[in-house]
Structure 1
Amino acid sequence: MTTEPTYRRGDSGPAVAAIRERLARLGLIDAGSIPAQGEPVFDEAVETAVRHFQQTRRTTVDGMVTPGTMRLLEEASWRLGDRDLTPAADPPFGDDVAELQRSLLTLGFDCGRVNGAYDPTTVGAVREFQRNVGLPATGVTDLATVQALNRLNRRMAHGGLLHAMRESEAIQSAGPALPGKTLVLDPGHGGPDSGVGAGGLIEAEVVFDIADRVKTRLEKLSVTTYMSHGPGGSPDDRRRAEKANELGADLLISLHCDAHSNPAASGVAAFYYGNDRFGHSSPTGERFAGLVQREITARTGLANLGTHGMTWDVLRYTQMPAVRIELGYLTSPHDAALLASQRFRESCADAIVIAVQRLYLPPESDSPTGVLRLAELRAQ
């Protein structure tokens, strides 16, 4: 299996030339800075531009062009109408698809999440739109379809609320009882990809152990619970999201640990799907991220680093609310000591399960953070 390269400051060659050209087309570096002769270099200006691009895309900001960042640069080069979007087993991705999805949602056609993927849900919404405006319902977004969208959207307000409303309604209609619900736990990394390691701890082992404790607790509450992979597996994030979609999960919870060059970096953070560029996010994911974040900090003493919208694949491509939790820094002596503790891992598992229950409780039945106990859930 070949591994796609990562480009960083000091690199040069044709791939770096392509990176500079894409950044210039996006207006992030001066097009005149690309040398006419000689090999373009990945210099400080390119690194700064890459960091800015990553920040605007709500992805990991490291200034390096990983395969994921390279894919995002390619997606950013498309505008709606640049190409025909055709249904395919390997669907097109790009900003043009995200523009299309936002337009469809504005007009009331449910294409699911604004994720930039021309997936079956989006194709179905395009066909429905085409039928409504008298175009052949081919599912192909061609020039005539784009022109029809533009004519109607000029009169409409900014979209994206339809999916948010339906997501919130789905939680309310599911009812407060946990039995019958389906949840996917996604321990980060796995197999040959062990994640970060420090303080005698390995990320993949820590998060798999905590995920297994969560699974045991949820199954005792009659929640159908799956792992995204076994101890020896390491699917990419998109495949993890696809598995959750195939299982028809109600929630996905991804568990990770963090690392930093500064050993003082410490605390827990939670992430949900949020895309400022296209004005779209997962309101239920945001609410659940807040619940699980507060429960963990209240029960473990970890510093609260807040909740944040991101566009990582495991959040972007799930059809259900999803969160990713960074359970402390292995490079922090304080956090590492906690993560090595069986008591801490038990408390984390309890916090996650209680946050799941609180997500489904109506406001009048909810409890303050840190108060509800697992035994009370079993008694219900």
Structure 2
Amino acid sequence: MRELRRGDAGPAVAEVRATLAGLGLLPSANGTPTAPTLDLAGGSTAPMLDPASRSSEAQFDLPLEQAVRAFQQQRGLITDGVVGAATYQALRDATYRLGGRPLAYLVSAPVSGDDVLTLQERLLELGYDAGRPNGVFGAQTEAALRNFQRDYGLTVDGMCGAETVRALRQLSPRARGGQPVLLREQERVRRAGPRLRGKRIVIDPGHGGDDTGVTVDGIRESDLMWDLARRLEGRMVATGMEALLSRGPDQCPTEAERAEFANEATGDVFLSLHCDKNSAPRAQGVATFYFGAGTSGTSTLGEALAGFIQRELTARTGMQNCRTHSKTWDSLRLTRCPAVRVEIGYLTNTEDRARLSDPAFRDLVAEGILVSVKRLYLLGEGDQPTGTFSFADVMRHELAKAE
């Protein structure tokens, strides 16, 4: 669908307005919420609008933009008040409730929605490893569901229908909370060991091909991030890691395709490299992002790695610290391994642009990211103060562990 923004009008705008009203973020024309409305892939059917309210419901006005922003903030999306593909998908997902439709693993078109998220959370609470709760019904969710069905004498078909939903509700644990995903992720890192040798890292240089990303004064984000990715790849290979690039110099996969590449490669870590832009020329600095969706789920190792990268890069480069943030972008949400996106400077800022154009600066960034990955696997043992761990130190640590 085309993007919807303030000033637009029509049935699609009315559909978005009614959905946000159903979610309690916007009053309907008569002042009361309506039911969720998006009629997509088995979702609810939009209510008919009466003639008196149709014209106001079809206008994308300031209150609707504010409601869209509130929804985007809740869902970990870019808070721009524009209904693009990601926001529309999230609106559709928000209309589903567990038990409202059968759920199954579809390889060609994975099912997503809040009902899938609820299923994943309940399986995790009951002790079944459904993976990171991201609202996407994948192979790991199906395996956990089959184990649950087998243990409780249900039909073992990997489908979440009425019988399975009843059992899940009856068996919901008395005590909730804890961090089962965190414990499993930490155990996987502990078992992987502190050495980098043998670890498989997927490096994702942003944009590519005809999509150059941010371009200012002839300096293109896609070119800078491709060069940075190759510098990082060289250092990682030197330590014994297997470094894989998600794209070639003339390719631009979608975010979902980049995540799928990481999953098929069984990557241990996914690193997405980007620059930023802003209409305010003074905006500058570095920020890192990891998967997180409010209280419903967070990639704990992704959050830890994002913190390491943020601290290392700000300490080494002196760039403005724009902190770490949780987001639900597909490149973070759909990867099974810890995933981090790094926004390294603003090309719209003169100082950041000059530094990013310097190959020596990109070497410094590559070293900081490599050291951050090493810190993730050290689990606090034999570590050094932020900004002091060099590439030579990493190599000495690797050789010492090999002896």
Shorter-normalised TM range:
over 0.9
Give TM-score, length-normalised by structure 1. 0.96
Residue 293 of structure 1 and its aligned partner are, at CA, apart by 0.9
Instruction: Measure the CA separation in 1 of the matches of 2:105 and 2:371.
Output: 41
SS in 2 for 1:271: strand
| Structure 2 CA distance for partners of 1:24 and 1:362, relative to 1, 3 Å | closer
Q: Which residue of 2 aligns with 1:30?
A: 27
33-42 or 252-261: bigger deviation: 33-42
CA distance, structure 2, for counterparts of residue 303 and residue 200 of structure 1: 24
Aligned residue type for 2:312: E
How far, CA to CA, are the matches of 2:171 and 2:238 in structure 1?
51
Per the alignment, residue 290 of structure 2 pairs with 272
**CA shift digits 1:100-144 (9 cap, x unpaired):** 100000000001010101111101111111111111011110111
Structure 1: runs of 5 or more not aligned = none
Residue 115 of structure 2: which of 96, 106, 124 is its match? 96
Residue of 309, 312, 331 corresponding to 1:314? 331
Note the C-alpha offset of 1:156: 3.2
Give 1:130's match in structure 2, choosing from 122, 135, 149. 149
Q: Distance in 1 between matches of 2:182 and 2:255?
A: 23
Partner of 1:231: 249
- Preserved CA contact (<8 Å) 2:125 2:173: no
Does the CA contact (< 8 Å) of 1:199 and 1:331 recur in 2?
no
**Which secondary structure does the structure 1 equivalent of 2:53 belong to?**
coil
2:353 corresponds to = 336
Equivalent residue for 2:17, pick from 17, 20, 23: 20
Q: What is the rounded CA distance, in whole Å, between the counterparts of 1:324 and 1:29 in structure 2?
A: 32
Contact 2:276–2:347 (8 Å) recurs in 1? yes
Counterpart-to-counterpart distance in 2, 1:362 and 1:126: 32
On the 8 A contact 1:107/1:156 being kept in 2, the answer is no
What is the match of residue 45 of structure 2?
Answer: none
The partner residue of 2:200 within 182, 189, 193 is 182
Structure 1 equivalent of residue 388 of structure 2? 371
Farther-moved stretch of structure 1 (68-77 vs 4-13): 4-13
Aligned to 1:111: 130
Other structure's SS at 2:203 match:
strand
Q: Whole-Å Cα distance in 1 between the matches of residues 261 and 54 of structure 2?
A: 47
Give deviations 1:202-230, integer Å, cap 9, x for gaps. Answer: 11111111111100111111110101111
Is residue 247 from structure 1 mapped to residue 265 from structure 2 by the alignment?
A: yes
1:11 aligns to 2:8 (yes or no): yes
1:81-109 deviation digits (Å, cap 9, x = unpaired): 11111222212100000011000000000
Equivalent position amino acid for 2:232 in 1: V
What value does the CA root-mean-square deviation take over the aligned residues? 1.4
Secondary structure, counterpart of 2:323 in structure 1: strand
CA distance in 2, matches of 1:220, 1:211: 14
Other-structure match for 1:42? 60
> Within 1, Cα distance between the matches of 2:347 and 2:235?
25
SS at match of 1:363: coil
Q: For the residues of structure 2 that align with 1:277 and 1:200, how far apart are their CA atoms?
A: 42
Please state if 1:193 is matched with 2:190.
Answer: no
Match of 2:160 among 128, 136, 141: 141
- Give, as a single letter, the amino acid of the residue that structure 2 aligns with 1:25: G
Whole-angstrom distance in 2 between the partners of 1:16 and 1:101: 32
Distance in 2 of aligned mates of 1:162 and 1:273? 16
Matched residue, 2:39: none
Q: 2:373 aligns with which of 334, 356, 361?
A: 356
CA contact (8 A) 1:57 1:277 kept: no
Indicate if the aligned counterparts of 2:309 and 2:369 stay in contact, CA closer than 8 A: yes
Look up the equivalent residue of 1:314 and give its one-letter code. S
Preserved CA contact (<8 Å) 1:272 1:286: yes
Distance 2:173 2:199 in 1: 41
Q: CA deviation at 1:199?
A: 4.1
Confirm or deny: 8 A CA contact 2:98 2:116 kept in the other structure.
yes
Q: CA deviation at 1:362?
A: 3.9
SS in 2 for 1:185: strand
Alignment of 1:68-83 (within 5 A): 68-83=86-101
Q: Which amino acid aligns with 1:288?
A: L
Whole-angstrom distance in 2 between the partners of 1:154 and 1:13: 46
**Contact 1:199-1:333 within 8 A present in 2 as well:** no
Please give the per-residue CA displacement for 1:262-287, whole angstroms capped at 9, x wherever unaligned: 11111101111112141x21111111
Distance (whole Å) between structure 1 residues aligned to residue 198 and residue 169 of structure 2: 43
Match of 1:292 in 2: 309
Q: Please tell me whether the aligned partners of residues 186 and 255 of structure 1 are also in contact (alpha carbons under 8 angstroms).
A: yes
Fraction of identical pairs, as percent: 45
Structure 2 unmatched ranges of 5 or more:
31-48
Give a deviation string over 1:295-331, Cα, whole Å, max 9, x none: 1111111111111111111111111101000001111
Supply the distance in 1 between the matched residues of 2:137 and 2:327 (Cα, whole angstroms): 20
Is the 2:198–2:241 contact (alpha carbons within 8 Å) kept by the matching residues of 1? Answer: yes
Q: What pairs up with 1:182-221 in 2 under 5 angstroms?
A: 182-221=200-239
> Do the aligned residues in 1 keep the contact of 2:29 with 2:53 (CA within 8 Å)?
no
